[in-house]
Amino acid sequence: MNEKLRKEQAIKRFAQYVSPGKVETFKTYDMDFVFGRREGPYVWDINGKKRLINCHCNGGVFNLGHRHPRMIKILKQSLRELDIGNHHFISEQRGLLAERLAQLMPGDISCTVFGVGGGEAIDLAIKLARGYTGRQKIISAIGGYHGHTGFALAAGDEQYRLPFGPNLPGFIQIPFNDVSALEKQVDDDTAAVIFETVPATLGMPVPEKDFFLRAKQICSRHGALLIIDEVQTGLGRTGKLWGIEHFNVVPDIIVIGKGLSGGIYPISATCYRREFEGFFHKNPFIHISTFGGAEVGCPVAMAVLEESSKPEFLKHVNELADIFRDGFVDLKKRHPRILVGLRQLGLMMGIEMVNDNCGPIMTKACYDENILAIYANNDRRVCQLLPPLIIDKKTAYEIIGGIDRALKSAAEFLGL
């Protein structure tokens, strides 16, 4: 089959059996890219004619790039003797992985329940907070995003849940990074406060240095738990292993996912302080996940933790972050009519522009410059920039050059 026909058939099949709406959307913007070959920071169209630098990374799934050779090797080895396992029984692999997480987590966070995706892990964090405290109230951020399932959806932005009817009772939203608003809402009926360390879908706003510390103090005064969603910020993305480490606070629960998979085998984790284990001790089968922490995938996650926690790896992330920071200082001078600046914590970055039209237009402009970068849906002034953490300096400069040209094109299109 020739490459053109193969792509046409792939698009037609996807439209017929998966999502005609997605196909129509991407065709409208001439972005009907079909993932074919993938390697390191790059993905190729299935016809081989277009190569993108993946600066979306599926929200951090590909922190280590596509098809990382070590992850592939470990999964192949794992498949020789392991399979999914059985979630009801004691597991050597889950025990080893949870032990390593306990060693790497901040403070006294030392217990883990595994899931398949971030939404499931967030659901469990909220279930644990409600079950442990006996309370119902959950406070989250306006414009935040925690997943599309159950309690995760209830804690997220209204636009994702409104089509499905009224929200679940007990869920309250406040502005992110607003201590005063938080203080007014947290009371003795509050089970938990949940925030992303840096809310990606809200456009990567980096909170004040003392925000999370003050949030923890407010929670502690009322006996509420602080849940930190590190699904995107974890595993080195911010230049530290966990993004919350920048803020000198130990939350009660940390949720991780996406990058823990190594881009190879899906897994997520809800990690919590040992004192909360009492709830599960009384109810050891109250939460189950058939595929959560699948034994065949645990060795991959172990390797991800090893790679991501290496001092030299984190040093590399911070060196790249400096390149992007300095690069955007120059880009701001070159494109003052469209570019406001770079929101940044390590390589958790958002390109902030002057109005809501800029994000979608910039997404297309970047695509035309062979960079995959998607706008932040809850703040469309911002285009997310999440390159793989393993890129070299040359690729970083290549990305900055592409963004330079994309900003010029976007500004011209918008008449700025």
Full 3-state SS string of 150-197: HHHHHCCCHHHHHHHCCCCCCEEEECCCCHHHHHHHCCCCEEEEEEEC
Residue 1 in this model has a pLDDT that exceeds 70: no
Residue 158 has what pLDDT? 87
Residue 153 forms part of a structural domain: yes
Q: Average pLDDT, stretch 367-389?
A: 97
Report the distance separating Cα 274 and Cα 279, nearest Å: 10
- H or E stretch including 7? helix 3-17
Q: Which residues pair with residue 255 across a beta bridge?
A: 229, 270
The candidate with the shortest Cα–Cα distance to 345, out of 258, 233, 196, is: 233
pLDDT of 288 over the 90 cut: no
Predicted TM-score of the model (pTM): 0.96
pLDDT at residue 4, rounded to an integer: 82
Contact between 323 and 396 (Cβ < 8 Å): yes
Q: Could you tell me if residue 42 is inside a domain? A: no
Residue 351 resides in a domain: no
- For residue 216, is it within any domain? yes
Domain holding 246: CATH number? 3.40.640.10
Q: Is residue 373 part of a domain?
A: no
Beginning with the edge strand found earlier in the chain, give each strand of the sheet holding 42-45 in spatial order.
35-39, 42-45, 51-54, 371-372
The model's pLDDT over 217-265, given as tens digits with 9 standing for 90+, comes to: 999 999 999 999 999 999 999 999 999 999 999 999 999 999 999 999 9
The pLDDT tens digits of the residues spanning 25-51 come to: 999 999 999 999 999 999 999 998 899
The pLDDT tens digits of the residues spanning 15-26 come to 999 999 999 999
> Is 74 domain-assigned?
yes
* 167 within a domain of the structure (yes/no): yes
pLDDT score at 297? 98
Those residues with Cβ within 8 angstroms of residue 157's Cβ, 6 or more apart along the chain or in another chain:
142, 143, 144, 145, 201, 378
Q: 35 pairs with which residues across the strands?
A: 45
Domain with 155, as residue range(s), is 69-309
Residue 122 is assigned to a structural domain of this protein = yes
What is the total count of domains within the chain?
Answer: 1
